[in-house]
Chain A
Amino acid sequence: MSFERVPYGSARNQANQQPVPSNPVRTLVILFIVLLTMGGVAVFTGATSVNLGLDLRGGTSVTLQPKVQPGQEGTITTESIDQAVNIIRQRVDGVGVAESEVAAQGTGTNRQIVISVPGENGRRIIDLVGQTAELRFRQVLIETSDSADSQLLDDSALPAGVTPEVAEQFRNLDCTTVAERGAGALDDPNQAVAVCDREGFLKYLLAPARVLGTDVSGAQAVFDATTTLGWYVSLDFSSEGGRKFAQVTSEVVNLPSPQNQLAIVLDGLVVSAPRINETISGGQAQITGNFTQLEAQDLASVLKYGSLPLAFERGEVQQISPTLGAEQLDAGLLAGVIGLFLVLVYSLFYYRALGVVAAGSLIVAAYVLIVSFMLLGEWVGYTLTLAGIAGAIVSIGVTADSFIVYFERLRDELREGRSLKTAVETAWIRARRTVIVSDVVSMIAAVLLYIFAVGGVRGFAFTLGISTLIDLLVIFFFSKPLVVVLSRMKYFQEGRKFSGLTPKNLGLKNVGEVSANV
């Protein structure tokens, strides 16, 4: 290994003569053992690759924000959102996409749910997770295909339970535009409502709900090959629900059309409104509606796992194709490599042989960073995102700055007329303080960014934080000891050509001035 080549014999002798706080060669050896162990642990635990975020490999992420319903401001709590997370997780798992992730971020009303699904299942997942899945069975009062029509429904002859406000809403409701249909709005089950069907062909005035989603105990997608029904969803009611359903069907069965229809309303839209031909008392019902197999399965899974305790809106939807993901990954890596290379060249150009320390520090830092990514990916599920790559690239500057501070201090001490051996230590004491103070500032920034960040920013903050810690590790246990070891070499002590410490480099007039006090 390379560290055996340093003249540690002389280092040892000197250490005996004058007490040096710590033996730099020993520090370096220990560091390399630690680094190799880290690498070994990574290999043994199978953490040999970095988990890539969706923006680097393609996939869909949806951020859901709780929607504040009028009069229900107090219902958005950490608990209710965690409950929603569990239900959404069950739904996503039910679809069987591997490696999907559902997590909540933030607290109280700011708590959001982030759903990340790799690969090309985006569309389906987006539809699945955003649904509140609030199921209601309501008796149909009026069914019409007219769009907004002010002549409909006379205020003097409203059906029972219909307020003039609802009647007004019903008249003005225009089902032809997607926005107006108002999908996802939570309705009050105890009130009559004006709603559209899913396709926007029909609008309904419906009576207060008689049977709710909570009365459903199970659901499955069924294919009926014998009739023209195709795919439909079969519902099982709880015993209480079955009784209520039997009751309502027996009440409407003999009424004139359309009042003998029972609308199945999901998240504020009518899925279907079948006519009830007989009292249904078996504790089962069917939802039909020209479903495809996937639609029927997704609907069944949504109903099975229950409705969400809150309504959500999609704060952000991001769907990245694998092609774009690969492009972004390549670009990020390329930028990193170019950036690192430029900094290496500059350090070697400016600091000459001392630049080797700089180059070594950057390479060690890069190694530790990559191994940390692997290990953190294995242990805490860390995923590297594009913002994370940007953070790592920015941190090249932070790492480089630490040794610039040290080197400039070192040169200052030499200019003061100190010998290299002494200068290495006195410069370190001062540079160390500066490096620590400035790293603490970086760390504060990283922690705050992490706390207050939304989505991608977190990845950036996390990487910046790790890099700052690594910077401290590298400057303390690699750069400094290495400089101490080098300072014992004649080449540097005498400030020879290309050492980066020539009198000319330092701006001293007399050759030999540097080593005058050795």
Chain B
Amino acid sequence: MSEKKNQSSFGGRLYRGEVSIDFVGRRKQWYLVSLALFIISSGAFFFQGMKLGIEFSGGTVLTVTSGQADASNARETVSQLPFIEGLIVQELGTDKVQIRTDSLEPGELTEIQDVLASRYAIDVESIDVQSIGPSWGEEITRKGITGLVAFFIIVMIYLAMTFEPKMAFAAFIALFHDVFITVGIYALIGFEVTPATLIGFLTILAYSLYDTVVVFDKVRENTKNITQVARQTYSQAANLAVNQTLIRSINTSIVALLPIASLLFVGAGLLGAGTLKDVALVLFTGMIIGTFSSLFIATPVLAGLKEREPAMIALAKRVNSRGGNEQENAPVSQRQQPKRKKNR
């Protein structure tokens, strides 16, 4: 209860600017954090590389459900076959064994199924199989990249039209940041990349952008008549916008992460592997980064770009000369106060 009260009034103070986190002013700090993440990501990507699922590398996964099956007897059974290469055998839960091999010819797949079925006295059809041809990976990679590029272009055009080109550019930087660092984390930790990961990945982009859009919408509102009023610089107005939407950003992230956490929990905990886990994991990782970039990257980059415009430079001069010394000490909030009818 008390925690909640604090949080809510915190929201109120944020809104009025009494409390304010300096997202825009201290942007160099955030950029340094991002730069560090960037370097780590590039390092992980180039030196460690991505761990690709069989969908990309080609291969076959067979899952046998049988009380008698364990990793060692499954390995023994399968390795009798002369054509087996790249064999990995893994136990899943108590009664499942997963067998992975390199890409198999149709006839070879049939053979391995038969051998396993007779070894454990199970029906051939009860073996779960996923078999991926060697050129399949290229196909989905190509499609995935085409999709990504198309998404970037279309969304940027849309944002440039709805907001303004500089906002679209700042959003693009934030998105690129998300893509790069998520890829880096995947390379670093060695999470497996599957088509389900790609799904999640594109969803994150949509989500991160969605988050940025909400903040930019507020920035646009706060800076509408900024040059006439001449009370705040663009950076100050933008920073206020981020602070004003902060509670929403946090709430949105929590509300989005809750179902994803449950997906991750059920996917990883109960099923062990597969689509649910892959989607949830990438969403979970990416959404945290997406929230970070909306707050700490998108708006600061936008403010940085806008402050270079002659009109905004002139504005900053006017605001600073008008405010004088008072400007240095007083938070942005004080100037917001009169808007609110209070203390009659």
A contact residues vs B (CB 8 Å cutoff): 55, 63, 65, 110, 120, 122-123, 126-127, 130, 177-179, 181, 183-184, 313-321, 323-324, 327-328, 331-332, 334-336, 338-340, 342-343, 346-347, 349-350, 386-387, 389-390, 393-394, 396-398, 400-401, 404-405, 408, 411-412, 415-417, 430, 433-434, 437-438, 440-442, 444-446, 448-449, 451-457, 460-461, 464, 504-508, 510, 513, 516-517
Known: A401-B255, A444-B154. A411 touches B11 (CB 8 A): yes
Known: A317-B109, A335-B266, A396-B255. 11 other contacts (CB 8 A): A178-B108, A178-B111, A317-B131, A334-B266, A336-B259, A339-B262, A404-B248, A415-B16, A451-B147, A456-B195, A504-B5
- Chain A residue contacts of B259, Cβ below 8 A: 335-336, 338-340, 342-343, 393-394, 396-397
Report Cα–Cα, A267/B63, bound state, in Å: 30
- Residues of chain A contacted by B271 (CB below 8 angstroms): 327-328, 331
User: Is B258 touching A342 in the complex (CB atoms < 8 A)?
Assistant: yes
B340 interfacial by beta-carbon distance below 8 Å: yes
Pairwise interchain contact A387-B125, C-beta atoms closer than 8 A:
no
One digit per residue, 1 when the CB lies within 8 angstroms of any chain A CB and 0 when it does not, for chain B 205-241 equals 1110110011001000100000000000000000000
- Contact in complex: A449, B143 (CB < 8 Å): no
**In the assembled complex, which residues on chain A have CB atoms less than 8 Å from the CB atom of B214?**
405, 434, 438
B203 and A349 within 8 A (CB): no
Q: With a CB–CB cut-off of 8 A, which chain B residues contact A401? A: 210, 252, 255-256
Residues of chain A lying within 8 A (CB to CB) of residue B255:
343, 346-347, 396-397, 400-401, 404
A351 to chain B, nearest CB (A): 9
The 19 listed contacts between A and B (C-beta, < 8 Å) are A63-B136, A123-B110, A177-B83, A183-B105, A314-B133, A319-B128, A320-B128, A328-B274, A332-B266, A339-B262, A339-B263, A405-B214, A405-B252, A415-B12, A444-B155, A451-B147, A456-B275, A457-B195, A460-B203
B258 contacts A339, C-beta separation under 8 Å: yes
**Min C-beta distance of B225 to chain A, whole Å:** 16
Contact B256 A513 (CB under 8 A): no
The answer to whether A408 touches B247 (Cβ under 8 A) is: yes
In the complex, A459→B202 CA distance in Å? 14
- Distance in angstroms from B344 CB to nearest chain A CB is 8
**Would you list the 6 A-B pairs with minimal beta carbon distance, nearest first?**
A507-B12, A339-B259, A397-B256, A452-B147, A445-B206, A507-B9
Interface centre among A316, A394, A437 (most CB of B within 10 A): A394
B179 to chain A, nearest CB (A): 13
Q: Are B162 and A437 in contact (CB under 8 A)?
A: yes
Interchain pairs with CB closer than 8 A, number: 288
Residue numbers in A under 8 Å from B265 (CB-CB) = 335, 338
Is the Cβ of A394 less than 8 Å from the Cβ of B154?
Answer: no
A169 to chain B, nearest CB (A): 19
Residue from B124, B154, B256, B266 within 8 A of A338 (CB atoms): B266
Would you call A460 and B199 a contact (CB within 8 A)? Answer: yes
Check A387–B196 contact: CB distance below 8 A. Answer: yes
Check: B71 CB closer than 8 A to any chain A CB.
Answer: no
* Contact status B12-A393, CB under 8 Å: no
Interface assignment of B132: CB less than 8 Å from any CB of chain A: yes
A336 proximity list for chain B (CB < 8 A): 259
Chain B residues with Cβ under 8 A from A456's Cβ? 195-196, 199, 275
- Given that A452-B146, A454-B195 are known contacts, is A331 also in contact with B127, CB under 8 Å in the complex? no
Contact residue among B133, B209, B254 (Cβ-Cβ distance under 8 Å from A65): B133
**A interface footprint on B315-327 (CB within 8 Å = 1, 0 otherwise):** 0000000000000
Which chain A residues lie closer than 8 Å to B29 at the CB level? none
Q: Considering the chains assembled together, what is the distance between the CA atoms of A516 and B342 in angstroms?
A: 10
A183 to B105, CA, bound (A): 9
At the interface with chain A, which of B38-46, B182-190, B276-284, B297-305? B276-284
B235 → chain A closest CB, angstroms: 21
| Chain A nearest Cβ from B254, distance in angstroms | 6
**Given A347-B255, A442-B206, A504-B8, also A433-B129 (CB < 8 A):** no
Whether B13 is near chain A, meaning CB under 8 Å from some CB there, is yes
Report yes or no: B125 in contact with A123, Cβ–Cβ below 8 A. yes
Hey, which chain B residues are within 8 Å of A445, CB to CB?
151, 155, 202-203, 205-206
Tell whether, in the assembled complex, residue A314 and residue B206 are in contact, meaning their CB atoms are under 8 Å apart.
no
Indicate with 1 or 0, residue by residue over B275-297, a CB within 8 angstroms of chain A CB atoms.
11001100100000000000000
